[in-house]
């Protein structure tokens, strides 16, 4: 674990902090689809992402979903951060989008290290910064863009985080992420195919020139 840690967080954290993390942290490998955080659950650990992609979702009262953003290597979940303080419940759901490697930190350490290590403070603040900006980005998309543009950005983003120009999703899955209906997505995807931006297949979509 210490090696994974150094490779991914060595430039961020002081040696003493890296040492502490390796002592109290737990290394885990989780599979695609693993539910890392559920709405309404209490947070006991803070995940540091070593590899893989995590999808962060919001849900409304009817159980309808909306994709908020993706977490990648070097990211951590801001919701975890804020939940550590107030003993509050999670407001979001986090699911491994791909197989992922993570280090779990007990939440008591979060506050302790914030007083002790400047690099930790910077990391935590920076994480908040990133998450807040991603939320702003999400707001921009849903408030200012129409569904066809949102879909296009979604496909780009998904292709980027998976580092693959083939998107393995059904129209229904995309519809859930964008909080619309399958028919709407099928209709818009067909338009994108007609103008040569993508090629549609059963269960996957090939990005051509977005």
Measured from the CB atom, is 58 or 101 closer to a copy of itself? 58
Among DNA, a copy of itself, none, what binds residue 133 when CB lies within 5 to 8 Å by partner kind? a copy of itself
The nearer residue to DNA, 201 or 208, going by C-beta atoms, is 201
183 binds, among a copy of itself, DNA, none (CB under 5 to 8 A by kind): DNA
Interacting residues with DNA (CB under 7 A) = 146-148, 170-172, 179-184, 186-187, 189-190, 193, 200-204
- Paired with 204 in beta bridges are 201
The partner in contact with residue 119, picked from DNA, a copy of itself, none with C-beta cut-offs of 5 to 8 angstroms by kind, is none
Interface with a copy of itself (CB under 8 A): 58, 60, 64, 66, 68, 78-79, 81-82, 85-86, 88, 91-92, 111, 114-115, 118, 121-122, 125-126, 128-129, 131-133, 135-136, 138-140, 142-144, 179
57 binds, among a copy of itself, DNA, none (CB under 5 to 8 A by kind): none
Calpha distance 87→120 (Å, rounded):
21
The helix or strand, by DSSP H or E, that contains position 166, with its residue range, turns out to be strand 166-167
Residue 100 contacts residue 52 (beta carbons within 8 Å): yes
Question: In what order do the strands lie in the sheet containing 65-71?
Answer: 35-37, 93-96, 54-59, 65-71
CA distance 123 to 49: 13
Distance CA 66, CA 139 (A): 11
């Amino acid at each position: 674990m210490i090696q994974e840690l150094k490779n991914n967080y060595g430039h961020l954290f002081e040696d003493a902090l890296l040492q502490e993390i390796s002592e109290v942290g737990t290394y885990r490998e989780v599979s695609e689809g693993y539910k890392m955080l559920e709405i309404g659950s209490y947070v006991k650990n803070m995940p540091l992402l070593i590899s893989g992609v995590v999808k962060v979702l919001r849900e409304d009262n009817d159980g309808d979903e909306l994709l908020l953003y993706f977490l990648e290597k070097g990211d951590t979940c801001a919701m975890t951060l804020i939940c550590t303080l107030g003993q509050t419940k999670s407001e979001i759901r986090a699911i491994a989008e791909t197989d992922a490697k993570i280090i779990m930190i007990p939440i008591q350490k979060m506050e302790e290290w914030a007083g002790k290590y400047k690099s930790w403070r910077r990391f935590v603040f920076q994480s908040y910064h990133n998450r807040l900006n991603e939320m702003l980005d999400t707001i921009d998309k849903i408030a200012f863009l129409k569904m066809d543009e949102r879909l296009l950005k979604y496909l780009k983003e998904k292709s980027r985080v998976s580092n693959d120009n083939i998107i393995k999703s059904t129209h229904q899955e995309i519809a859930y992420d964008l909080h619309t209906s399958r028919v709407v997505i099928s209709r818009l995807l067909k338009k994108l195919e007609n103008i040569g931006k993508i090629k549609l297949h059963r269960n996957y979509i090939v990005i051509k020139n977005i």
